[in-house]
Structure 1
Amino acid sequence: MHREPRLDRFNDNVLAKYQVYNSIFLTLPYDEIQKTGALLPLFQDICEKGFKENKNPSEIVERFFNKYEDGHSEDDRNNLLFRFIQYIERQVVLFDAIEDASFPIVNNMDGRGTLRNVKEEAEAKQKVKELKEYLKRFKVRPTLTAHPTQFYPGTVLGIITDLDNAIQKNDLVKIKALLAQLGKTPFFKKEKPTPYDEAVSLIWYFENVFYQSASKIHNYIQQNIFDGEDVGNQVINLGFWPGGDRDGNPFVTTEITLRVAKRLRRTILLNYYRDIRELKRRLTFRGVHELMNEMEKGLYDSAVSGTGDIKLSLEDFISKLNQIKEIVMTKHQSLFVDEIDDMLNKVNLFGYHFATLDIRQDAGIHNEVLEEIMQTKPDLLPSNYAELNEEEQVKVLTGLNAKIDPEDFEEGMAKSTLSSIYAMQEIQKKSGEPGANRYIISNCGSIQGVLQPFAYLRLCGWEEPSVDVIPLFETVPDLQSAHVVMKKLYTNPVYKEHLERRGNKQTIMLGFSDGTKDGGYLMANWSIYKAKEELTKISREYGIKVVFFDGRGGPPARGGGKTHQFYASLGPTIENEEIQLTVQGQTISSNFGTKDSCTYNLEQLLSSGVSNEIFSNGKNLLSDKARQTMNELADISYETYSNFKKHPRFIPYLEKMSTLKYYAKTNIGSRPSKRNKSAELNLSDLRAIPFVGSWSQLKQNVPGFFGVGTAMEKLDKAGRFDEVKEFYEHSEFFKTLLENSMMSLTKSFFPLTAYMKDDEEFGEFWQVIHDEFIRTKAMLLKVTGYDSLMENQPAGKASIQARERIVLPLLTIQQHALRMVQELSKDPEKNKEKIEIYEKMVTRSLYGNINASRNSA
């Protein structure tokens, strides 16, 4: 089945099918004027030819109308462009569904990086014992976040799932009906989703995908690697941010946090209830059936309870399952014991919480909270606290001993922060400790940054909080001093006691997105690598097991790309007993959207940890020479990127020439695109998603490559290119970095914006970006020895090219609309209505393009 090359499998099972189904889709009558589907391929053709002839987007649109729609009014023309956008959005969905349906054919489900492959490799190398030992302590935790990088409403997700099934069966009648349904189903959200809406749409993946995939993997490990014995470790945990992530999101309230936790609990209880009903049909034996009835009733009553009260405790549930297993084994020849084991594994994996709801808030907000506490409760802290030095402030924070009530405060940050902590206590009572036992502090750069929220936990009547306090280091300077902050914490007697109660385990989060925005691609990745080394070293010194939680986005510019390759490349100098990472937006649907892709990608993550630990034989250790090369490359790249950011046209370019300001209008996510409300655009307040997304919409993908070319070229000119080449050939870490950067370049398309080079204000700035693109491409080809980008990943490249081809007309329309807005804005009063129409066109075109990218930049 998998003998033909992967590219051929992709062409036969994805591209060929897309062409067939797309031709059906384009002939379906969606609107009164039935020619949109016929005109779209003609428009696409004109776009492709036009960019080859160096035409600008408006000239291309004009040429199309002159040729096919001559004599129509501007309104008619714009209506057709809006209909094109709607069609292209749906073509993207069709492509997604076909790619999902073909996943197990295009990807070898028993190939490299799968558990079966890992087991066989361990047997061949006689390392089964080491593999078992490692799996007893190793964990993978994907944490789903609702960051707005994909905009499919739930109704569309449902159609994608059904299309996926119909495509697998080649059911043309069903496919046609679903495409017709898709054509009539709205994509555009009239209102911004609430954090609760976001949570509900993501819990869908837990209920329908992760529940089955995670338990399937656990069962495989238990049956095939541990020969049926209990693994004694969860191996896979799930994390969740919607409803708990408060950072810069004023819409996350305590009520929403509690509602989301209840929804997670209710969903897992209903999943158990369905499974128990299914199992009850098999376990009809005396002494067993009665226990099944009790569990079924207890689970159902707990799930539908309005107050969220639990009628069957988790302990009781597990004890009854074990009782049943015992009876079945001793009296009924172990009939259906595998099914009972499967149920026990699920309950051990997901408990009553399903996924851990993380609470996150910005360190700056915690400072505000402290000020409010000092004003409202003047006796708690010394009035001169702000003037005290670090050591004295630390003493005050660790010595606080009182219980404060959020209701004593006016509406504001203190009240909401303290009540979020009381909510954590309530969730732990109903869902168990893992329901909400992590408090994350973003933009954390000091010991006070960690000890302030730690003090708030204790001020909420939680003298010994069953919570992990997790600093998030993001900017380059914060990453560089992270180990200094942690050393102070490890040597602080009060915090040290807390860590002992938490099993001497400290989780530390590292943020790629803001790191890249701050320091550029190479410097962000290298800073995080070095920070992890320093943090590993200091933690081992103090007997602390450090766990790294990576804030990695979908695209390489946000730390994404080939994630499992990245983890497999980390050497023994970086603690790697748990892989924890955020998964967001399109990465959820592309990597974990179906049971096949979810199982495959979870196995890849698991095996990356295994191969790094057990099969690498020190291959991943960076030599001193390699470090020196990486340091130089990162420094040159950082300087190049920093100078680029200081360019006087940097912010104006994003404001005037990109879609940045339109992100806020798309109603795609519950949180604002900036951390503060000021009218002035300030880069440090700007969220990484609109930042990376705006470059992606321009098809310039700056955060994924800028500075990389200059850095390599500088060493090349100094006659030292052989050092870079040697580094690339001997380091998986560097190789993965460059391959991900290559993906960013592959998704760039400069002819789209080439018209900007003649712009009076921005021409020179556009040229700077384009020059670096050309330079980086040349250097990447030189170091890899390839003739074209992504030559070693032909199927991945073909997928990107197919998606880029689908959205080319969409991007052309978007750029045309942006140009019209600029032109009409010269007389805004006179052109008010027209500007509104073109602005709406820009906003609408954002959707399909980001959905198509799956990994945006």
Structure 2
Amino acid sequence: MKLHQKKATFENEVLTRFDLFKSLFLTLPFQRVKHTGTLLPFFTTHCEKGVEEHLPPEDIIDSFFGQYEQYVQEEDRLDLLFRIVQYVERQVVLFDAVEDSAYQVIGKGDEIGGLNSLFKLTQDDDKLKKQIVEKLKDFSVRLVLTAHPTQFYPGPVLGIINDLIEAIKLNDISNIHLLLQQLGKTPFINKQQPTPVDEAISLAWYLENVFYKVASGIQAKIDDALELPAEEVKQLIELGFWPGGDRDGNPNVTAESTKTVAALLRTILFRCYYRDFRQVKRRITFRGVEGYLDNLQNLFYENSFNPVDNPEDDTAKILENLNAIKDVLNARHDGLFVGLVEDLIRKVNTFGCYFTTLDIRQDSSILRNTISYLVEKYDDTKLKSSDLTSSEEDKQKAFQFNELTLDYADDADSLVQDTVNVIRLLKDIQKSGSERAAQRFIISNCQQASDILGLMQLFLWEGWKRDELCIDFVPLFETVDDLSRAADVMKSLYTNKEYAKHLKLRGNKQTIMLGFSDSTKDGGYLMANWSIYRAKIELTAIAREYDVDLVFFDGRGGPPARGGGKTQRFYASMGSEIENKHIQLTIQGQTISSQYGSLDTAQSNIEQLLHAGLVSELRQNASDTLTSKQKEVIDGMAAESHRKFLALRHHPQFLSYLETLSPLKSLASINISSRPVKRNSNRELRLEDLRAISFVTSWSQLKQNIPGFFGVGTALQWAEENNLWSYVKNLYESSGFFNTLIDNCMMSMTKSNFHITSYMKDDPTFGTFWSLLHDEYQNTKKYLLKLSNSEILMQNYPVERASILEREKIVLPLLIIQHYAIRTLERDKKISEEKQDVYKKLIGRTIFGVVNAGRNLA
């Protein structure tokens, strides 16, 4: 489909239908809703006009209310603003549903291909088919759901969205009307701060309603199309889970919450099994299977509704009974309904008794503190305190890897207690769900090999045996400096005799996590992306030298500023210097809902990831492997971009600008996450303590998206001035990595709108700083358009561009209301405490709405 046709289809299928269904809001039997809906178009137009005239938000709001006599009192004005926020929130939900309902018609703007296109190629090419079958024996995609708060729909709202999608597909107006009524009465926010268990329950909605069905469906599709023998079928789609396991910077995650979440995941899975089993039992009413059905009835029912503490792994029993039923059906009943049984077998093979692998994550400093505590408490560790403060080489030699059982005293630090407890708990989780239930411990802020060796020693001090240590130790390299040292750290590990033994026990497979969040905050967009890409090349070379099967786990986040963006194209463009046998990435927030929130979108996106991983190796584009000169050019641009970004970071107004104008302060007080907004929350805000997600969210609420583009224009300008433009142009046209990096940057800029804050240009305090940001935006835009030979940003992606712009139009009133509330609190120091709370609540509600609308569309 040509670009103009795609855009026309989007306009007909989404924009026009959205306008039609939007009018249904006005017919809802809620008088206040109708009154708000009548005023909203006038308010939106007023906001648009005010922004065009560069008016500050208070002027826009005051001049609007000046047209209506009934809004003289501040209480009445605030009441209407709250109702506008609630109304817009529900418009966003409707737009999500309309857009998702048209997904099959519109698809992805830069679709790289699903499995069908791959299967078509194999129909007349037996050699390619054999290559794919061989590749599938050692290939997988793992999607890891994280609890990062970048999208806030509660479970009931997610359910309504999915029901709306189906009703809109059928043009079922009466049902749509009923669902909109339900939406009008359904709360969108948490009254209390969610716990890690609450977050797990929220994300489990996707496991139960989407991934459970889609993962096994895709597996069946591959098995059938490639005619794979049953004994060679391998689990291709894996799921990971962080809520309840990710304790890095989150003191609310404890061993108890980890245990609760592990049990919860098992219970939800068995309820899925039980629902499927009831269909099996209803259809298979023949002789010869009664005993097997009774066994399964008991297994599924008891685990669903009467779960016990520390259960056993029942996977083998379940499969034994299901396979016995399958054999009877084939032998005695002409295979009648055998498909239902095979479907359940496939699901049990995929999810076992655990559903999704629960990852454990903790910061290296906490692990070091735990080791220090045990060393000081026990003489028989064969370590001294001085060993832990010596050189890195001496620290590595100091660990004895002796097997002990060490405990803590009641007065031990709570984080020390949690570390010890969770290491012990992992044994119980594996016992009830197999090794796949929890097999990874991720070390955040990993800076040296001794961080990993120390954690390995901790496991041996807490009851684990060397030859039974079925845990993968996963270093997370994130800052620019840590990424530059990553290859040296891994070389030290591969050459360490004890770690090499452990790696052999784990099939010589090493997982390394590379995070985008802190590297973007640390070095800016271009340097962060290039540092990770360069680290992957170096880490791959070291792994190949020591014959290690390397798996990269990408903390890619959602929006481009957190490493997300055009994910499928990113993986399809890995050159020969980067290991790409397995695709593993985090997905979070709006990325979960936009890409995996419905059966259609989840199936399409997972298939594209599978396609990307397979094609990147089998039909690799030679130009995706960068030449020495190309690397040299990107090196130079990354250095220039880094210099520009560091100058911004060190600007004396950098943090104060963000704190004064964005809702950064409010992020700490609204109930969006169990995780604190910043590390070391008991001291004054410092940039290094600020969580990357809060950093990115604050800039996106300002509609300035600094982490997604700042420094890129300066880098491109440097290339042009140094006669390197032809190389950059060639990179954009030939390198999938560089092309994707630039296109993601354009997406961040399309989601920016400096007009909203243009009134700041003449501000006596921040005017110069605002101009500094705006100048780089303009410079970057100029060079991106020149590089892509375009007249507008995202010209080659008209569907995504139209979707983004429509969403920005929907939430413009929320942004004006938010900035109005922030400025009111900032300017009026005499405002009563009660009224301050009202304005803070208003800011919080707008944050929810703006974030929910900003789905990552690529």
What band does the TM-score fall into relative to the shorter chain? over 0.9
**In structure 2, do the counterparts of structure 1 residues 32 and 46 end up closer, same or farther at CA, with 3 Å as the change threshold?**
closer
1:178-219: CA deviation from partner (whole Å, max 9, x where unpaired): 212211222221100000000011111111100100001000
Distance 1:795 1:431 in 2: 43
Note closer, same or farther for the CA distance 1:605–1:420 as it changes in structure 2 (3 Å cut): same
Q: Residues 703-722 of structure 1: matches in 2 within 5 Å?
A: 703-722=707-726
**2:513 maps to what in 1?**
509
User: Which residue identity is paired with 1:454?
Assistant: M
Q: Kindly state the Cα deviation for residue 334 of structure 1 after the two structures are TM-superposed.
A: 2.7
SS in 2 for 1:399: coil
What whole-Å deviation, never above 9, does each CA across 1:232-280 have from its counterpart, x for those lacking one?
3100010000000000111111111111101111111121122122112
Aligned 8 A contact 1:398 1:494 in 2 = no
Structure 1 position 544 matched with structure 2 position 545: no
- The structural deviation recorded for 1:653 is 0.9
What SS class does the counterpart of residue 442 from structure 2 fall into? Answer: strand
In the other structure, the counterpart of 1:179 is 180
**Match for residue 610 of structure 1 among 599, 604, 614:** 614
1:662 pairs with 2:666:
yes
CA drift of 1:109 comes to 12
Measured in 2, the distance between the counterparts of 1:855 and 1:620 equals: 25
CA distance in 2: counterparts of 1:314 and 1:71, whole angstroms: 64
Q: Which AA in structure 2 matches 1:416?
A: D
- 1:112 to partner: Cα distance: 4.4
2: CA distance, partners of 1:279 / 1:170: 33
Q: What's the counterpart of residue 389 of structure 1? A: 391
Partner of 2:565: 561
Q: Deviations over 1:601-654 (max 9, x none)?
A: 000110110110112253421122211111111111111111111111111111
**C-alpha displacement of 1:419:** 0.2
- In terms of mean alpha carbon deviation, does 592-601 or 4-13 score higher? 4-13
User: Superposed, which structure 2 residues align to 1:622-637 within 5 Å?
Assistant: 622-637=626-641
In the alignment, structure 2 segments of 5+ residues that lack a partner are none
Paired amino acid for 2:89: E
Match of 2:580 in 1: 576
In structure 2, relative to structure 1, the CA distance for the partners of 1:657 and 1:275 (3 Å cut) is: same
TM alignment of 1:75-86, pairs within 5 A: 75-86=75-86
How far residue 409 of structure 1 moved from its aligned partner, in angstroms, is 5.9
Hey, what does 1:413 align to over in structure 2?
Answer: 415
Q: Match of 2:683, SS?
A: coil
Alignment-derived partner of residue 787 in structure 2: 783
1:235-634 matches, cutoff 5 A: 235-308=236-309, 310=311, 313-380=314-381, 381-406=383-408, 410-464=412-466, 465-634=469-638
Q: With structure 2 as the length reference, what TM-score do the two structures score?
A: 0.96
Structure 1 CA distance, aligned partners of 2:24 and 2:69?
A: 23
Structure 1 SS opposite 2:622:
coil
Partner Cα distance (2:2, 2:299) in 1: 47
C-alpha distance in 2, partners of 1:725/1:111? 23
Deviations 1:61-116 (A, max 9, x none): 12211123466212211111111111111111111111122222221799742111
3-state SS in 1 of match to 2:371: helix
Counterpart contact for 1:536–1:575, Cα < 8 Å:
yes
Aligned AA (2:256): E
- Distance of 1:692 and 1:43 partners within structure 2: 28
Distance 1:856 1:384, change over 3 A: farther
1:749 paired residue number: 753
Specify the alignment match of 2:225 in structure 1: 224
Distance in 1, matches of 2:3 and 2:414, equals 62
Q: Out of 683-692 and 99-108, give the one that drifted further.
A: 99-108
Q: How many residues align?
A: 854
Q: Secondary structure at the match of 2:624?
A: coil
- Partner SS state of residue 238, structure 2: coil
Q: Partner of 1:738 in structure 2? A: 742
List per-residue Cα deviations over 1:803-849 (Å, max 9, x = no partner).
Answer: 00000011011111111111103xx4x54443333222212210100
Instruction: State how far apart, in whole Å, the 2-side matches of 1:108 and 1:755 are.
Output: 37
Question: After the TM superposition, which of the residue ranges 467-476 and 378-387 deviates more from structure 2?
Answer: 378-387
Task: Please give the alpha-carbon distance, in whole angstroms, between the structure 2 residues aligned to 1:88 and 1:309.
Answer: 46
Deviates more, 1:278-287 or 1:631-640: 278-287
Q: Is residue 510–residue 548 contact of structure 2 (8 Å, CA) maintained in 1?
A: yes
**Counterparts of 1:531 and 1:124, CA distance in 2:** 39
Give the partner amino acid of 1:240. F
Mapped to 2, the partners of 1:274 and 1:187 lie a distance apart of 29
Change (3 A) 1:227 1:418: closer
Change (3 A) 1:810 1:802: same
Task: Quote how far apart the aligned CAs of 1:403 are.
Answer: 1.1
CA offset digits 1:29-79 (Å, max 9, x no partner): 435585211101100011112212222222111221112346621221111
Name the CA shift for 1:719/1:74 in 2 (closer, same or farther; >3 Å).
same
Q: Contact 2:313–2:433 (CA<8 Å) still a contact in 1?
A: no
Q: Distance in 2 between matches of 1:656 and 1:712?
A: 31
- Code of the aligned partner of 1:530: R
Change (3 A) 1:560 1:327: same
Preserved CA contact (<8 Å) 1:140 1:237? yes
DSSP-derived class of the 1:384 partner:
helix
SS in 2 for 1:237: strand
Q: Which residue of 1 aligns with 2:675?
A: 671
Which of 800, 810, 817 is the equivalent residue of 1:806? 810
Contact 2:295–2:321 (CA<8 Å) still a contact in 1? Answer: no
Distance 2:653 2:454 in 1: 39
Q: Residue 92 of structure 2 corresponds to which residue in structure 1?
A: 92
What is the alpha-carbon distance in structure 2 between the residues aligned to residue 309 and residue 772 of structure 1? Answer: 57
Give 3-state SS (helix, strand or coil) of 1:166's partner.
Answer: helix
> Is the 1:192–1:669 contact (alpha carbons within 8 Å) kept by the matching residues of 2?
yes
TM-score under structure 1 normalisation? 0.97
SS of 2:326's equivalent? Answer: helix
Q: Give the 3-state SS of the residue equivalent to 1:281 in structure 2.
A: helix
Q: Are the equivalent residues in 1 in contact too, given 2:658–2:698 (CA < 8 A)?
A: yes
Q: Which residue does the alignment assign to 1:763?
A: 767
Q: Deviations over 1:386-429 (max 9, x none)?
A: 44322222222243431113566635222110100111111011
- Indicate the residue corresponding to 1:822 in structure 2: 826
Q: Quick one: distance in 2 between partners of 1:780 and 1:108?
A: 22
* Paired amino acid for 1:610: L
1:719 Cα shift? 3.2
Letter in 2 for 1:630: I
Unaligned runs of 5+ in 1: none
Partners of 1:302 and 1:308 within 8 A in 2:
no
> Is residue 214 of structure 2 the alignment partner of residue 210 of structure 1?
no
Give the conservation status (yes or no) of the 8 Å contact 2:575–2:621.
Answer: no
CA contact (8 A) 1:89 1:848 kept: yes
Deviation, structure 1 residue 483? 0.7
Q: Is contact 2:526–2:712 with CA below 8 Å preserved after alignment? A: yes
> 2:669 corresponds to which letter in structure 1?
K
Distance 1:45 1:62 in 2: 14
Asked if the contact 1:824/1:835 (under 8 Å) is kept, the reply is no
> What percent of counterpart residues are identical?
48
Separation in structure 1 between the aligned mates of residue 608 and residue 427 of structure 2, nearest angstrom: 35
SS in 1 for 2:113: coil
Aligned match of 1:132: 133
Are residues 501 and 409 of structure 1, via their aligned partners in 2, closer, same or farther at CA, if it must alter by over 3 Å? farther
Tell me which amino acid in the other structure corresponds to 2:55: K
Return the alpha-carbon distance in structure 1 between the equivalents of residues 568 and 442 of structure 2. 24
1:310 Cα deviation (Å)? 4.5
Q: Are 1:73 and 2:77 an aligned pair?
A: no
> Higher mean Cα deviation, 185-194 or 23-32?
23-32
Provide the C-alpha distance between the structure 2 equivalents of 1:499 and 1:84, rounded to a whole number of angstroms. Answer: 57
